[in-house]
Chains A and B, each alone.
Chain A
Amino acid sequence: MSNIAIKAENLSKVYRLGMGKRRHDTLRDQITAGLTSFISRNARNSNNSESILWALRDVSFEIKKGEVLGFIGRNGAGKSTLLKVLSRITEPTAGLVEIRGRVASLLEVGTGFHGELTGRENIFLNGAILGMKKAEMLRKFDEIVAFSEVERFIDTPVKRYSSGMYLRLAFAVAAHLEPEVLIVDEVLAVGDASFQKKCLAKMQTVGKEGRTVLFVSHNLSAITSLCQRVIWLQSGEIADNGNPHQVVSNYLSASSQIQPSQKWPDPNLAPGNDITRACSMRLHSNGHNTDVIDIRQPIIFEMEFEVLKPGHVLVPCIGLERDDGLVVFVSHDRDPEWRRRPRPVGRFKSSVHIPGNFLSEGRFIIGAGIITEAPLKVHFDVNPAVAFQVVDSFDGDSARGDLAGQMVGAVRPLLEWKNELSDSPNPLLSHR
């Protein structure tokens, strides 16, 4: 028992969607809301129960001292919420966590950095924010500066730093924390390749020094190489917990099972509320209902939904993510016909056209839902809804041209380029 560093029991965290988070931003809203609730208390209650989001639901786990544990899961699965609860930034709605040892959490690189302060000053400020004592910082100062490779600019305000220098300095401070428990959220996703490599190496040594490390990342190869155990979170619950390779492969196979279409034949099981309910969602491209899409072809996403109660302005919306979790874009239905216009009861089909020659190659996942924008209310939100693969046929007429190697970027638009031949070549050059 004494070798347990963290023990979480039935941890839950509930957010009130739309209504809760920014429910009464001004006193006036609070007063009007107070009046409304007095008049129609029951109506409001029924609304409330449906705008609840369980960011975490009955999550229990134990972490041994010195264990390096990774958390994976899709966007919105509750990873960051869990780290926030463990870091004591936000309070759980229910459940209990016990943590043994000094905790440092690194949810962001360079928290509290101030642009007007010099590198030297920021080391001290950031160190204090992350929980280092002044004596400790003085002792480690030279080491931090050496690690950051910004010796020459240490007395320059960090607002004049390049983003790379800024990140290196910020990570250098964090890397010299010596907590017993280190909580890290996706810090490796920033910076260039060499910086990421350096961070990974540092994380590896931290793990080997016998400290407990909790680590969230979308970088699955980093997770498998660093962690001794992986927990996969899905919709706020633990979907799998165990050997990293096993969990990661289960996770990948689950995400590859997302189909290019979904149907809810039984309206009682369909996502939605008493105002609107989803019927089906599907993708098609070039007339085919398929999940493999030619990079040059437009993609149509179609959502059918039933409006059960008239008088609400309903806005279908989608979010498109790459399979590593990067959000490529979100888009809300701006069909002028239904702008600010309450929808009558009936079955609607809403479709959105994603142009060809726009997304890059790779696997993408679409989440879709229906909201009311003002005041914000989420009627349903299905994520993941559908998934698809974008492929390039290498015919030479896509944005890739005849390039065979890797092309980075979440989007790969075919942009218009123009070239003009200047009629008078530079005489200095022509004589060489």
Chain B
Amino acid sequence: MSRAVVETQRSLGGDPNEPAVQIKPRKGWLHLDLGIIWSYRELLYFLVWRDLKVRYRQTAIGAGWVLLQPLLTMVLLTVVFGKLAKVPSDGLPYPIFSLAALLPWTMFSNSLSRGSESIVGNANLVTKVYFPRLILPLSGVLSPLVDFAVAFVVLIGMMIWYGIAPQANIVTLPLFVLLSVLTALSVGVWLSALNVRYRDVRHTVPFLVQIWMFASPVAYPLSLVPEKWRFLYSLNPMVGVIEGFRWAVLGQASPDFLLISVSVGVSLGLLAGGVIYFKRMESKFADEV
């Protein structure tokens, strides 16, 4: 229980088991009060659930889109980069090399787009109901995780086709999925709050996602990046995610763990900054959205 709540109960002389709140202008910028999100977990669940229910309603092939999107992109990349440009693929067949990156990438880019649109897109909720606003970018970021799980079936199918058996590395997979969600959340939290005030964000995100994809080893291997640029390159947290993901699933040469820890660090730093910025702007959302 936060200090403000306890104080309220004292001043009202009431039963400490009865919830009490104090509403006043917030001062300072380190007033995060993140614990409250846990008590709103059911709302988070229902928002993700709504997103999933609604997304493929009135589509002819429904959830088939979840499978088609990475598959079609894989075919496209294989033709353009694998066949025409003859980009190397670390000794793996190019289709599976790119698909293993496309799954976490698709999840990340969907999470990022949904996360950054989450406050403005739910303006009707923000202006009418109280709940911790961080629930919104969280729900936006989490719903593509379900799509990811479904699309993973495609990867399993491809692995069987190419006769690639998973190795012990596969147990580390959840960590890289988590890192991808974390990265999407950290950027999503920043952009969702910025989007409330500057609608430019809405127009920037598609470019950001596109540029980011080429700045990540999705269509090409990390080994193509010159050694001296590697560190700068790895400041992009998706480098760690994708390299780690490929390693966990396809088990080629072990990735550079220093590089992955840089990714984790950048991602956590972004998230901390994003949450602080978000909490600072939160109180103005209802007035500005």
What is A's interface to B at a CB cutoff of 8 Å?
1-2, 4, 7, 15, 21, 24-27, 30, 84-103, 105, 107-108, 111-112, 114, 116-117, 121, 124-125, 128-131, 133-134, 157, 180
Residue in A closest to B203 when the chains form the complex, CB atoms: A26
With both beta carbons as reference points, the residue of chain B lying nearest to A12 in the complex is identified as B25
B residues with a Cβ closer than 8 A to A are 8, 11-14, 18-26, 42-43, 45-47, 49-50, 53-54, 57-58, 124-131, 197-200, 283-284, 286-288
Whether the pair B23, A26 counts as a contact (CB closer than 8 A) is no
- Complex CA gap A350/B20 in Å reads 53
**Counting chain B CB atoms within 10 Å of each CB, which of A97, A98, A134 scores highest?**
A98
Are A112 and B124 neighbours in the complex by a CB distance under 8 Å? yes
Residues on B with C-beta less than 8 A from A133 are 42
List residues of chain B with CB within 8 A of the CB of A101.
Answer: 18-20
Q: Which residues of A contact B26 (CB under 8 A)?
A: 91
Q: For B58, list chain A residues within 8 Å (CB).
A: 116
Residue contact A21 to B130, C-beta cutoff 8 Å? no
Question: Could you tell me the distance between the alpha carbons of A90 and B284 in the complex, rounded to whole angstroms?
Answer: 7
Q: Distance in Å from the Cβ of B193 to the closest Cβ of chain A?
A: 14
Known: A91-B23, A121-B53, A129-B129. A1 touches B46 (CB 8 A): no
* A-B pairs with beta carbons under 8 A, tally: 124
Residue on A nearest B4 in the bound complex, by CB: A98
6 A-B pairs with C-beta separation under 8 A: A15-B287, A88-B23, A89-B129, A97-B24, A100-B12, A114-B50
How far apart sit A89 and B58, CA to CA, in the bound complex (Å)? 34
5 extra interface residue pairs, beta carbon distance < 8 Å, beyond A117-B50, A131-B131: A7-B12, A15-B287, A92-B24, A95-B24, A116-B58
A89 contact set on B, CB distance < 8 A: 126-130, 286
Partner of B12, one of A4, A107, A108, A130: A4
B21 adjacent to A103 (CB under 8 Å) = yes
A125: chain B residues within 8 A (beta carbon): 46, 49-50
A90 to B24 CA separation, bound complex (whole angstroms) = 10
Docked complex Cα distance between A53 and B47 (Å): 35
| Identity of the chain A residue whose Cβ is nearest the Cβ of B201 in the assembled complex | A27
Q: Select one of A25, A27, A94, A124 contacting B46, CB under 8 A.
A: A124
Whether A117 contacts B53 in the complex (CB less than 8 A), given A93-B25, A98-B22, A128-B46, comes out as yes
- Nearest chain B residue, comparing its CB with the CB of A183: B130
